[in-house]
Structure 1
Protein backbone atom coordinates (compact mmCIF):
# COMPACT_ATOMS: atom_id res chain seq x y z
CA UNK A 1 0.00 0.00 0.00
CA UNK A 2 1.18 3.53 -0.76
CA UNK A 3 0.91 6.26 1.84
CA UNK A 4 -0.14 9.89 1.42
CA UNK A 5 1.34 12.53 3.73
CA UNK A 6 -1.00 15.40 2.92
CA UNK A 7 -4.12 14.91 0.92
CA UNK A 8 -7.01 12.59 0.31
CA UNK A 9 -7.30 10.33 -2.68
CA UNK A 10 -10.90 9.90 -3.80
CA UNK A 11 -11.95 6.28 -3.74
CA UNK A 12 -15.40 7.35 -4.84
CA UNK A 13 -15.85 5.55 -8.12
CA UNK A 14 -19.20 4.57 -6.62
CA UNK A 15 -20.00 7.97 -5.12
CA UNK A 16 -23.49 9.17 -5.97
CA UNK A 17 -24.68 12.47 -7.31
CA UNK A 18 -27.65 12.64 -5.04
CA UNK A 19 -28.89 9.29 -3.86
CA UNK A 20 -28.66 9.34 -0.07
CA UNK A 21 -26.32 12.34 -0.50
CA UNK A 22 -23.46 9.99 0.29
CA UNK A 23 -19.95 11.42 0.38
CA UNK A 24 -17.28 9.85 -1.77
CA UNK A 25 -15.04 7.67 0.37
CA UNK A 26 -11.80 9.50 1.10
CA UNK A 27 -8.52 8.46 2.60
CA UNK A 28 -7.70 10.68 5.55
CA UNK A 29 -4.26 12.30 5.85
CA UNK A 30 -1.46 9.89 6.76
CA UNK A 31 -3.58 6.82 5.96
CA UNK A 32 -3.00 4.09 3.45
CA UNK A 33 -4.29 4.60 -0.06
CA UNK A 34 -4.86 1.71 -2.43
CA UNK A 35 -2.53 0.39 -5.07
CA UNK A 36 -3.79 0.85 -8.62
CA UNK A 37 -4.84 -2.81 -8.81
CA UNK A 38 -6.93 -2.39 -5.67
CA UNK A 39 -8.39 0.87 -6.96
CA UNK A 40 -9.29 -0.66 -10.33
CA UNK A 41 -10.90 -3.68 -8.67
CA UNK A 42 -13.24 -1.39 -6.73
CA UNK A 43 -14.05 0.86 -9.70
CA UNK A 44 -17.59 0.88 -11.06
CA UNK A 45 -18.14 0.42 -14.81
CA UNK A 46 -21.42 1.61 -16.31
CA UNK A 47 -23.49 0.32 -19.21
CA UNK A 48 -20.93 1.67 -21.71
CA UNK A 49 -18.11 -0.15 -19.87
CA UNK A 50 -16.60 3.15 -18.84
CA UNK A 51 -15.21 3.61 -15.36
CA UNK A 52 -17.04 6.27 -13.33
CA UNK A 53 -14.97 8.54 -11.08
CA UNK A 54 -15.86 11.53 -8.94
CA UNK A 55 -19.48 10.41 -8.80
CA UNK A 56 -20.50 11.19 -12.38
CA UNK A 57 -17.44 11.55 -14.62
CA UNK A 58 -16.56 8.77 -17.12
CA UNK A 59 -13.06 7.44 -17.74
CA UNK A 60 -12.89 5.42 -20.93
CA UNK A 61 -10.11 2.83 -20.66
CA UNK A 62 -7.89 1.10 -18.12
CA UNK A 63 -5.02 3.29 -19.31
CA UNK A 64 -7.10 6.42 -18.70
CA UNK A 65 -8.04 5.13 -15.25
CA UNK A 66 -4.36 4.57 -14.45
CA UNK A 67 -3.53 8.13 -15.57
CA UNK A 68 -6.38 9.44 -13.39
CA UNK A 69 -5.12 7.40 -10.44
CA UNK A 70 -1.60 8.72 -10.88
CA UNK A 71 -2.87 12.33 -10.95
CA UNK A 72 -4.78 11.75 -7.72
CA UNK A 73 -1.81 10.26 -5.94
CA UNK A 74 0.41 13.12 -7.10
CA UNK A 75 -2.29 15.69 -6.34
CA UNK A 76 -2.75 14.39 -2.82
CA UNK A 77 0.83 15.45 -2.20
CA UNK A 78 0.54 18.81 -3.91
CA UNK A 79 -2.92 20.46 -3.87
CA UNK A 80 -3.36 23.77 -5.69
CA UNK A 81 -3.79 26.50 -3.10
CA UNK A 82 -5.61 28.68 -5.24
CA UNK A 83 -14.19 29.31 -8.61
CA UNK A 84 -16.10 27.76 -11.43
CA UNK A 85 -13.17 25.63 -12.60
CA UNK A 86 -12.49 24.33 -16.10
CA UNK A 87 -10.96 20.91 -16.75
CA UNK A 88 -7.50 20.90 -18.33
CA UNK A 89 -5.80 18.31 -20.51
CA UNK A 90 -2.05 18.65 -20.76
CA UNK A 91 -2.32 22.09 -19.19
CA UNK A 92 -4.78 23.32 -21.86
CA UNK A 93 -8.41 24.26 -21.16
CA UNK A 94 -10.79 21.43 -22.06
CA UNK A 95 -13.41 23.46 -23.93
CA UNK A 96 -15.28 23.78 -27.21
CA UNK A 97 -14.27 26.32 -29.82
CA UNK A 98 -16.58 29.34 -30.21
CA UNK A 99 -18.13 27.76 -33.32
CA UNK A 100 -18.62 24.37 -31.66
CA UNK A 101 -20.11 25.92 -28.53
CA UNK A 102 -22.86 27.52 -30.62
CA UNK A 103 -23.85 24.20 -32.17
CA UNK A 104 -23.95 21.59 -29.40
CA UNK A 105 -26.48 19.30 -31.04
CA UNK A 106 -27.97 16.34 -29.21
CA UNK A 107 -30.66 13.68 -29.50
CA UNK A 108 -32.90 12.25 -26.76
CA UNK A 109 -33.46 8.53 -26.98
CA UNK A 110 -37.05 7.36 -27.47
CA UNK A 111 -36.10 4.49 -25.14
CA UNK A 112 -37.05 6.81 -22.27
CA UNK A 113 -40.58 5.67 -23.13
CA UNK A 114 -43.27 7.45 -21.15
CA UNK A 115 -40.60 9.75 -19.69
CA UNK A 116 -39.33 10.87 -23.10
CA UNK A 117 -41.23 14.20 -23.10
CA UNK A 118 -40.13 14.86 -19.51
CA UNK A 119 -36.47 14.33 -20.42
CA UNK A 120 -36.82 16.58 -23.47
CA UNK A 121 -38.24 19.30 -21.22
CA UNK A 122 -35.59 18.85 -18.51
CA UNK A 123 -32.79 18.92 -21.08
CA UNK A 124 -34.20 22.13 -22.52
CA UNK A 125 -34.47 23.85 -19.13
CA UNK A 126 -31.10 22.55 -17.92
CA UNK A 127 -29.42 23.81 -21.08
CA UNK A 128 -31.16 27.16 -20.71
CA UNK A 129 -29.29 27.78 -17.46
CA UNK A 130 -25.99 27.94 -19.37
CA UNK A 131 -27.39 29.49 -22.54
CA UNK A 132 -28.88 32.45 -20.65
CA UNK A 133 -25.45 33.24 -19.18
CA UNK A 134 -23.19 32.73 -22.20
CA UNK A 135 -22.80 32.27 -25.94
CA UNK A 136 -23.28 28.48 -25.83
CA UNK A 137 -26.23 26.89 -27.60
CA UNK A 138 -27.51 23.36 -27.00
CA UNK A 139 -29.72 22.23 -29.91
CA UNK A 140 -32.10 19.28 -29.70
CA UNK A 141 -32.43 17.42 -33.03
CA UNK A 142 -35.67 15.39 -32.71
CA UNK A 143 -35.16 13.74 -36.11
CA UNK A 144 -32.26 11.76 -34.58
CA UNK A 145 -34.10 10.57 -31.47
CA UNK A 146 -35.10 7.18 -32.86
CA UNK A 147 -31.42 6.29 -33.42
CA UNK A 148 -29.99 8.12 -30.43
CA UNK A 149 -26.70 6.44 -29.48
CA UNK A 150 -23.05 7.45 -29.42
CA UNK A 151 -22.77 5.97 -32.94
CA UNK A 152 -25.07 8.67 -34.34
CA UNK A 153 -22.72 11.05 -36.15
CA UNK A 154 -25.49 13.57 -36.91
CA UNK A 155 -25.32 14.99 -33.38
CA UNK A 156 -22.53 16.00 -31.01
CA UNK A 157 -23.86 13.81 -28.19
CA UNK A 158 -26.71 11.53 -27.21
CA UNK A 159 -28.97 11.48 -24.15
CA UNK A 160 -29.82 7.93 -23.14
CA UNK A 161 -31.49 6.05 -20.27
CA UNK A 162 -29.53 3.85 -17.89
CA UNK A 163 -30.47 1.63 -14.98
CA UNK A 164 -27.99 1.94 -12.14
CA UNK A 165 -27.78 2.56 -8.42
CA UNK A 166 -24.37 4.21 -8.79
CA UNK A 167 -25.42 7.68 -9.95
CA UNK A 168 -28.44 9.74 -10.96
CA UNK A 169 -26.84 10.98 -14.16
CA UNK A 170 -23.41 11.28 -15.72
CA UNK A 171 -21.95 13.17 -18.65
CA UNK A 172 -18.58 13.81 -20.40
CA UNK A 173 -16.00 16.51 -21.13
CA UNK A 174 -15.35 18.24 -24.48
CA UNK A 175 -12.18 16.17 -24.90
CA UNK A 176 -14.13 12.90 -24.63
CA UNK A 177 -14.05 10.85 -27.88
CA UNK A 178 -17.32 10.71 -29.84
CA UNK A 179 -17.75 7.00 -29.06
CA UNK A 180 -18.18 7.89 -25.38
CA UNK A 181 -19.96 11.21 -25.68
CA UNK A 182 -23.34 10.74 -24.02
CA UNK A 183 -25.42 11.84 -21.05
CA UNK A 184 -26.85 8.86 -19.19
CA UNK A 185 -29.87 9.41 -16.93
CA UNK A 186 -31.34 7.02 -14.36
CA UNK A 187 -35.01 7.04 -13.27
CA UNK A 188 -33.93 8.26 -9.84
CA UNK A 189 -33.76 11.76 -11.36
CA UNK A 190 -37.53 11.96 -10.69
CA UNK A 191 -37.22 11.15 -6.98
CA UNK A 192 -34.26 13.27 -5.89
CA UNK A 193 -36.07 15.60 -3.53
CA UNK A 194 -34.96 19.21 -3.72
CA UNK A 195 -32.61 18.39 -6.60
CA UNK A 196 -34.85 19.13 -9.57
CA UNK A 197 -34.31 17.38 -12.92
CA UNK A 198 -33.49 20.80 -14.40
CA UNK A 199 -30.68 21.42 -11.94
CA UNK A 200 -29.31 17.87 -12.09
CA UNK A 201 -29.15 18.04 -15.87
CA UNK A 202 -27.75 21.57 -15.60
CA UNK A 203 -24.93 20.13 -13.46
CA UNK A 204 -24.24 17.41 -16.02
CA UNK A 205 -24.31 19.85 -18.93
CA UNK A 206 -21.76 21.89 -17.00
CA UNK A 207 -19.41 18.92 -17.40
CA UNK A 208 -20.14 18.80 -21.14
CA UNK A 209 -18.91 22.41 -21.30
CA UNK A 210 -15.68 21.46 -19.54
CA UNK A 211 -16.48 22.43 -15.94
CA UNK A 212 -15.15 20.35 -13.07
CA UNK A 213 -16.66 19.77 -9.66
CA UNK A 214 -16.17 22.90 -7.60
CA UNK A 215 -15.35 20.81 -4.53
CA UNK A 216 -12.05 19.65 -6.05
CA UNK A 217 -10.69 23.02 -4.91
CA UNK A 218 -8.81 22.97 -1.58
CA UNK A 219 -11.26 25.48 -0.10
CA UNK A 220 -13.90 22.74 0.08
CA UNK A 221 -11.76 20.83 2.56
CA UNK A 222 -12.94 17.43 1.27
CA UNK A 223 -13.69 15.41 -1.88
CA UNK A 224 -10.43 16.44 -3.59
CA UNK A 225 -10.20 14.89 -7.06
CA UNK A 226 -7.05 16.05 -8.87
CA UNK A 227 -5.18 19.15 -10.00
CA UNK A 228 -6.16 19.09 -13.69
CA UNK A 229 -8.17 22.30 -13.69
CA UNK A 230 -7.90 26.07 -13.92
CA UNK A 231 -9.95 28.47 -11.74
CA UNK A 232 -12.27 30.86 -13.58
CA UNK A 233 -13.89 32.54 -10.56
CA UNK A 234 -13.43 32.70 -6.79
CA UNK A 235 -14.43 29.55 -4.91
CA UNK A 236 -18.22 29.16 -4.74
CA UNK A 237 -19.57 26.65 -2.21
CA UNK A 238 -23.09 27.16 -3.65
CA UNK A 239 -22.08 26.44 -7.24
CA UNK A 240 -24.24 24.17 -9.39
CA UNK A 241 -21.03 22.16 -9.83
CA UNK A 242 -20.49 21.63 -6.07
CA UNK A 243 -21.89 18.49 -4.42
CA UNK A 244 -23.82 19.45 -1.27
CA UNK A 245 -22.36 16.37 0.47
CA UNK A 246 -18.86 17.75 -0.12
CA UNK A 247 -19.30 20.81 2.13
CA UNK A 248 -21.48 22.55 -0.45
CA UNK A 249 -23.93 25.16 0.78
CA UNK A 250 -26.66 24.83 -1.87
CA UNK A 251 -29.60 22.60 -1.00
CA UNK A 252 -30.87 22.31 -4.58
CA UNK A 253 -27.91 22.60 -7.03
CA UNK A 254 -29.22 25.87 -8.41
CA UNK A 255 -27.03 28.04 -10.62
CA UNK A 256 -25.33 31.01 -8.99
CA UNK A 257 -24.16 34.41 -10.21
CA UNK A 258 -20.60 33.10 -9.93
CA UNK A 259 -21.46 30.15 -12.20
CA UNK A 260 -22.87 32.57 -14.75
CA UNK A 261 -19.76 34.74 -14.56
CA UNK A 262 -17.55 31.67 -15.00
CA UNK A 263 -19.24 30.33 -18.13
CA UNK A 264 -19.29 33.82 -19.64
CA UNK A 265 -15.57 34.18 -19.03
CA UNK A 266 -14.87 30.95 -20.90
CA UNK A 267 -17.41 31.16 -23.74
CA UNK A 268 -18.37 34.81 -23.90
CA UNK A 269 -21.54 36.50 -22.67
Structure 2
Protein backbone atom coordinates (compact mmCIF):
# COMPACT_ATOMS: atom_id res chain seq x y z
CA UNK A 1 0.00 0.00 0.00
CA UNK A 2 1.58 3.27 -1.15
CA UNK A 3 1.11 6.62 0.56
CA UNK A 4 2.27 10.03 -0.67
CA UNK A 5 2.69 12.93 1.77
CA UNK A 6 2.19 16.68 1.56
CA UNK A 7 4.18 18.70 4.09
CA UNK A 8 2.87 18.00 7.58
CA UNK A 9 -0.42 16.67 6.20
CA UNK A 10 -0.93 13.03 5.22
CA UNK A 11 -2.19 12.51 1.67
CA UNK A 12 -3.41 8.96 1.17
CA UNK A 13 -2.88 7.81 -2.41
CA UNK A 14 -3.78 4.19 -1.83
CA UNK A 15 -6.94 3.15 -0.03
CA UNK A 16 -7.06 3.00 3.73
CA UNK A 17 -10.26 0.97 3.75
CA UNK A 18 -8.38 -2.19 2.91
CA UNK A 19 -7.14 -5.29 4.63
CA UNK A 20 -4.15 -3.44 6.13
CA UNK A 21 -5.39 -0.77 8.49
CA UNK A 22 -2.20 0.92 9.64
CA UNK A 23 -2.35 4.63 10.41
CA UNK A 24 -0.66 6.74 7.71
CA UNK A 25 2.60 8.38 8.73
CA UNK A 26 2.86 12.16 8.72
CA UNK A 27 5.61 13.87 6.79
CA UNK A 28 7.65 16.49 8.59
CA UNK A 29 9.57 18.32 5.88
CA UNK A 30 8.75 20.00 2.58
CA UNK A 31 11.28 17.73 0.89
CA UNK A 32 8.79 14.89 1.33
CA UNK A 33 6.17 16.62 -0.82
CA UNK A 34 5.91 14.54 -4.01
CA UNK A 35 5.75 16.05 -7.47
CA UNK A 36 2.51 15.48 -9.33
CA UNK A 37 4.32 12.94 -11.50
CA UNK A 38 5.32 10.98 -8.39
CA UNK A 39 1.85 11.26 -6.90
CA UNK A 40 0.26 10.17 -10.19
CA UNK A 41 2.56 7.14 -10.42
CA UNK A 42 1.83 6.11 -6.82
CA UNK A 43 -1.95 6.52 -6.89
CA UNK A 44 -3.86 3.25 -7.17
CA UNK A 45 -6.05 2.74 -10.24
CA UNK A 46 -8.93 0.32 -9.76
CA UNK A 47 -10.82 -2.09 -12.01
CA UNK A 48 -12.82 0.77 -13.55
CA UNK A 49 -9.56 2.61 -14.36
CA UNK A 50 -10.35 5.31 -11.84
CA UNK A 51 -7.83 6.74 -9.41
CA UNK A 52 -8.64 6.07 -5.74
CA UNK A 53 -7.93 8.86 -3.25
CA UNK A 54 -8.88 9.39 0.39
CA UNK A 55 -9.23 5.66 0.87
CA UNK A 56 -12.39 4.94 -1.09
CA UNK A 57 -13.20 7.92 -3.34
CA UNK A 58 -12.76 7.65 -7.13
CA UNK A 59 -11.26 10.32 -9.40
CA UNK A 60 -12.05 9.75 -13.06
CA UNK A 61 -9.33 11.39 -15.17
CA UNK A 62 -5.71 12.47 -14.94
CA UNK A 63 -6.90 16.06 -15.20
CA UNK A 64 -9.22 15.57 -12.23
CA UNK A 65 -6.37 13.95 -10.30
CA UNK A 66 -4.17 16.96 -11.02
CA UNK A 67 -6.90 19.29 -9.74
CA UNK A 68 -7.18 17.15 -6.60
CA UNK A 69 -3.39 17.29 -6.10
CA UNK A 70 -3.36 21.08 -6.49
CA UNK A 71 -6.19 21.43 -3.94
CA UNK A 72 -4.27 19.24 -1.53
CA UNK A 73 -1.15 21.40 -1.82
CA UNK A 74 -3.16 24.59 -1.28
CA UNK A 75 -5.25 23.09 1.52
CA UNK A 76 -2.23 21.70 3.35
CA UNK A 77 -0.54 25.10 3.29
CA UNK A 78 -3.66 26.86 4.58
CA UNK A 79 -4.17 24.32 7.36
CA UNK A 80 -0.55 24.43 8.47
CA UNK A 81 -0.04 28.20 8.26
CA UNK A 82 -3.41 29.66 9.20
CA UNK A 83 -5.27 26.89 11.00
CA UNK A 84 -8.80 25.80 10.14
CA UNK A 85 -11.93 26.49 12.14
CA UNK A 86 -15.19 24.68 11.51
CA UNK A 87 -17.62 22.39 13.16
CA UNK A 88 -21.34 14.68 9.43
CA UNK A 89 -19.57 17.24 6.47
CA UNK A 90 -20.90 17.52 2.94
CA UNK A 91 -18.70 17.61 -0.15
CA UNK A 92 -18.76 20.82 -2.15
CA UNK A 93 -18.19 21.42 -5.86
CA UNK A 94 -17.56 24.98 -6.95
CA UNK A 95 -18.70 26.15 -3.53
CA UNK A 96 -22.10 24.41 -3.77
CA UNK A 97 -23.25 21.37 -1.79
CA UNK A 98 -22.72 18.11 -3.66
CA UNK A 99 -26.16 16.60 -3.07
CA UNK A 100 -29.15 15.07 -4.83
CA UNK A 101 -32.33 17.01 -5.48
CA UNK A 102 -35.41 16.14 -3.42
CA UNK A 103 -36.86 14.03 -6.23
CA UNK A 104 -33.57 12.26 -6.91
CA UNK A 105 -32.74 11.35 -3.30
CA UNK A 106 -36.21 9.84 -2.95
CA UNK A 107 -35.57 7.36 -5.73
CA UNK A 108 -31.95 6.19 -5.63
CA UNK A 109 -32.35 3.06 -7.69
CA UNK A 110 -29.59 0.47 -7.84
CA UNK A 111 -28.84 -3.03 -9.03
CA UNK A 112 -26.70 -5.72 -7.40
CA UNK A 113 -24.64 -7.73 -9.87
CA UNK A 114 -25.35 -11.44 -10.11
CA UNK A 115 -21.58 -11.80 -10.58
CA UNK A 116 -21.34 -11.87 -6.79
CA UNK A 117 -22.34 -15.52 -7.21
CA UNK A 118 -22.92 -17.30 -3.92
CA UNK A 119 -22.49 -14.00 -2.08
CA UNK A 120 -25.25 -12.26 -4.07
CA UNK A 121 -27.91 -12.55 -1.36
CA UNK A 122 -25.40 -11.44 1.27
CA UNK A 123 -24.60 -8.29 -0.71
CA UNK A 124 -28.31 -7.59 -1.24
CA UNK A 125 -28.85 -7.85 2.51
CA UNK A 126 -25.81 -5.68 3.36
CA UNK A 127 -26.93 -2.99 0.92
CA UNK A 128 -30.44 -2.97 2.33
CA UNK A 129 -29.14 -2.70 5.90
CA UNK A 130 -26.64 0.04 5.01
CA UNK A 131 -29.31 1.99 3.14
CA UNK A 132 -31.72 1.67 6.06
CA UNK A 133 -29.28 3.53 8.30
CA UNK A 134 -29.63 6.66 6.16
CA UNK A 135 -33.31 6.17 5.37
CA UNK A 136 -34.05 6.10 9.11
CA UNK A 137 -32.16 9.40 9.47
CA UNK A 138 -34.17 11.25 6.80
CA UNK A 139 -37.53 10.31 5.35
CA UNK A 140 -36.48 12.05 2.13
CA UNK A 141 -33.84 9.38 1.43
CA UNK A 142 -34.96 6.19 -0.32
CA UNK A 143 -32.68 3.59 -1.88
CA UNK A 144 -34.55 1.24 -4.22
CA UNK A 145 -33.13 -2.11 -5.29
CA UNK A 146 -34.28 -3.10 -8.80
CA UNK A 147 -33.70 -6.89 -9.04
CA UNK A 148 -34.80 -7.01 -12.68
CA UNK A 149 -31.59 -5.14 -13.59
CA UNK A 150 -29.20 -7.36 -11.62
CA UNK A 151 -28.24 -9.57 -14.57
CA UNK A 152 -26.96 -6.50 -16.45
CA UNK A 153 -25.65 -4.56 -13.49
CA UNK A 154 -22.93 -2.19 -14.72
CA UNK A 155 -22.47 1.56 -14.96
CA UNK A 156 -23.81 1.33 -18.51
CA UNK A 157 -27.24 0.32 -17.23
CA UNK A 158 -29.39 3.44 -17.58
CA UNK A 159 -32.35 1.87 -15.79
CA UNK A 160 -30.77 2.48 -12.39
CA UNK A 161 -28.93 5.38 -10.78
CA UNK A 162 -25.98 3.20 -9.77
CA UNK A 163 -24.67 -0.34 -9.76
CA UNK A 164 -23.16 -2.53 -7.04
CA UNK A 165 -20.43 -4.74 -8.49
CA UNK A 166 -17.73 -7.15 -7.29
CA UNK A 167 -14.04 -6.33 -7.54
CA UNK A 168 -10.86 -8.15 -6.63
CA UNK A 169 -8.33 -5.87 -4.98
CA UNK A 170 -6.14 -5.63 -1.92
CA UNK A 171 -6.40 -1.83 -1.93
CA UNK A 172 -9.82 -1.34 -0.33
CA UNK A 173 -12.81 -3.20 1.05
CA UNK A 174 -15.29 -1.07 -0.90
CA UNK A 175 -15.49 2.26 -2.64
CA UNK A 176 -18.31 4.49 -3.85
CA UNK A 177 -18.97 7.87 -5.54
CA UNK A 178 -20.47 11.32 -4.95
CA UNK A 179 -23.75 12.71 -6.34
CA UNK A 180 -21.77 14.88 -8.77
CA UNK A 181 -20.03 11.84 -10.28
CA UNK A 182 -20.89 11.14 -13.93
CA UNK A 183 -22.96 8.03 -14.69
CA UNK A 184 -19.88 6.11 -15.86
CA UNK A 185 -18.46 6.45 -12.33
CA UNK A 186 -21.59 5.68 -10.34
CA UNK A 187 -20.93 2.29 -8.87
CA UNK A 188 -20.15 0.76 -5.51
CA UNK A 189 -17.34 -1.77 -5.86
CA UNK A 190 -17.08 -4.46 -3.19
CA UNK A 191 -14.15 -6.77 -2.47
CA UNK A 192 -14.49 -10.18 -0.78
CA UNK A 193 -12.61 -8.79 2.24
CA UNK A 194 -15.90 -7.23 3.32
CA UNK A 195 -16.77 -10.60 4.84
CA UNK A 196 -13.62 -10.78 6.96
CA UNK A 197 -13.34 -7.19 8.18
CA UNK A 198 -13.60 -8.02 11.87
CA UNK A 199 -15.74 -5.58 13.84
CA UNK A 200 -16.60 -3.69 10.66
CA UNK A 201 -19.86 -5.38 9.66
CA UNK A 202 -20.87 -5.54 5.97
CA UNK A 203 -23.93 -3.42 6.81
CA UNK A 204 -21.83 -0.65 8.39
CA UNK A 205 -19.24 -0.76 5.60
CA UNK A 206 -22.05 -0.34 3.09
CA UNK A 207 -23.50 2.41 5.26
CA UNK A 208 -20.16 4.24 5.10
CA UNK A 209 -19.99 3.91 1.32
CA UNK A 210 -23.61 4.97 0.87
CA UNK A 211 -22.78 8.02 2.95
CA UNK A 212 -20.47 9.05 0.12
CA UNK A 213 -23.23 8.47 -2.44
CA UNK A 214 -25.30 11.03 -0.50
CA UNK A 215 -22.46 13.57 -0.63
CA UNK A 216 -20.90 13.07 2.80
CA UNK A 217 -17.13 13.34 3.15
CA UNK A 218 -14.80 11.61 5.58
CA UNK A 219 -15.22 13.18 9.00
CA UNK A 220 -11.47 12.99 9.62
CA UNK A 221 -10.75 15.67 7.02
CA UNK A 222 -11.65 18.17 9.77
CA UNK A 223 -8.81 19.82 11.67
CA UNK A 224 -10.06 18.35 14.96
CA UNK A 225 -8.97 14.91 13.80
CA UNK A 226 -5.34 15.97 13.73
CA UNK A 227 -4.47 13.59 10.89
CA UNK A 228 -5.65 12.18 7.54
CA UNK A 229 -6.44 15.67 6.15
CA UNK A 230 -7.91 15.48 2.64
CA UNK A 231 -8.93 18.93 1.37
CA UNK A 232 -11.08 21.97 2.16
CA UNK A 233 -13.93 21.26 -0.27
CA UNK A 234 -16.63 20.62 2.31
CA UNK A 235 -19.20 22.37 4.46
CA UNK A 236 -19.85 21.45 8.10
CA UNK A 237 -23.31 20.18 8.98
CA UNK A 238 -22.76 19.19 12.62
CA UNK A 239 -20.11 19.50 15.30
CA UNK A 240 -17.08 17.22 14.86
CA UNK A 241 -17.86 13.57 15.62
CA UNK A 242 -14.85 11.28 16.08
CA UNK A 243 -17.20 8.26 16.27
CA UNK A 244 -18.98 9.06 12.97
CA UNK A 245 -19.68 6.30 10.48
CA UNK A 246 -17.73 8.51 8.05
CA UNK A 247 -14.62 8.63 10.27
CA UNK A 248 -11.86 6.05 9.74
CA UNK A 249 -10.99 4.45 13.11
CA UNK A 250 -7.29 4.55 12.16
CA UNK A 251 -7.48 8.33 11.70
CA UNK A 252 -7.93 9.10 15.40
CA UNK A 253 -11.51 7.85 15.31
CA UNK A 254 -13.14 6.66 18.51
CA UNK A 255 -15.40 3.96 17.07
CA UNK A 256 -14.00 0.59 16.03
CA UNK A 257 -17.04 -0.66 14.12
CA UNK A 258 -18.16 2.17 11.76
CA UNK A 259 -21.56 2.33 13.42
CA UNK A 260 -23.87 5.28 12.78
CA UNK A 261 -24.18 7.95 15.47
CA UNK A 262 -26.88 10.43 16.43
CA UNK A 263 -24.68 13.16 14.96
CA UNK A 264 -24.60 11.31 11.63
CA UNK A 265 -28.36 11.19 11.65
CA UNK A 266 -28.52 14.89 12.46
CA UNK A 267 -26.22 15.64 9.52
CA UNK A 268 -28.38 13.67 7.11
CA UNK A 269 -31.47 15.47 8.35
CA UNK A 270 -29.71 18.83 8.03
CA UNK A 271 -28.85 18.18 4.39
CA UNK A 272 -31.96 16.37 3.18
CA UNK A 273 -34.60 17.13 5.81
CA UNK A 274 -35.84 15.09 8.75
Q: State the partner residue of 2:41.
A: 41
TM-score by length of 1: 0.96
- Does residue 227 (structure 1) correspond to residue 235 (structure 2)? The answer is no
- 1:188-267 aligned at under 5 Å gives the runs 188-267=193-272
The runs of 5 or more residues in structure 2 that have no matched partner are none
**1:129 and 1:25 mapped to 2: Cα distance?**
32
Q: 1:45 to 1:117 in 2, by over 3 A?
A: same
**2:192 and 2:108 mapped to 1: Cα distance?**
24
1:35-67 Cα offsets, whole Å, 9 max, x none, are 100100101000000000011000000000000
* Contact kept in structure 2, 1:168 and 1:186, CA below 8 Å: yes
* Contact kept in structure 2, 1:171 and 1:184, CA below 8 Å: yes
Q: State the partner residue of 1:173.
A: 178
* Contact kept in structure 1, 2:18 and 2:170, CA below 8 Å: no
- 1:7-156 aligned at under 5 Å gives the runs 7-10=8-11, 12-28=12-28, 30-79=30-79, 80-82=84-86, 84-134=88-138, 135-156=140-161
Q: Secondary structure at the match of 1:95?
A: coil
The runs of 5 or more residues in structure 1 that have no matched partner are none
Q: Secondary structure at the match of 2:9?
A: coil
Q: Secondary structure at the match of 1:165?
A: coil
Q: CA deviation at 1:22?
A: 2.0
1:82-140 Cα offsets, whole Å, 9 max, x none, are 15100000110000001100000000000000000000000000000000010200000
* Contact kept in structure 2, 1:83 and 1:258, CA below 8 Å: no
* Contact kept in structure 1, 2:72 and 2:230, CA below 8 Å: yes
Q: 1:193 to 1:9 in 2, by over 3 A?
A: closer
Q: CA deviation at 1:147?
A: 0.2
Q: Secondary structure at the match of 1:246?
A: coil
Q: Secondary structure at the match of 1:22?
A: coil
Q: 1:43 to 1:172 in 2, by over 3 A?
A: same
**2:10 and 2:241 mapped to 1: Cα distance?**
22
**1:180 and 1:4 mapped to 2: Cα distance?**
27
**1:138 and 1:83 mapped to 2: Cα distance?**
28
Q: 1:83 to 1:122 in 2, by over 3 A?
A: farther
* Contact kept in structure 2, 1:183 and 1:204, CA below 8 Å: yes
**1:224 and 1:207 mapped to 2: Cα distance?**
17
Q: Secondary structure at the match of 1:202?
A: helix
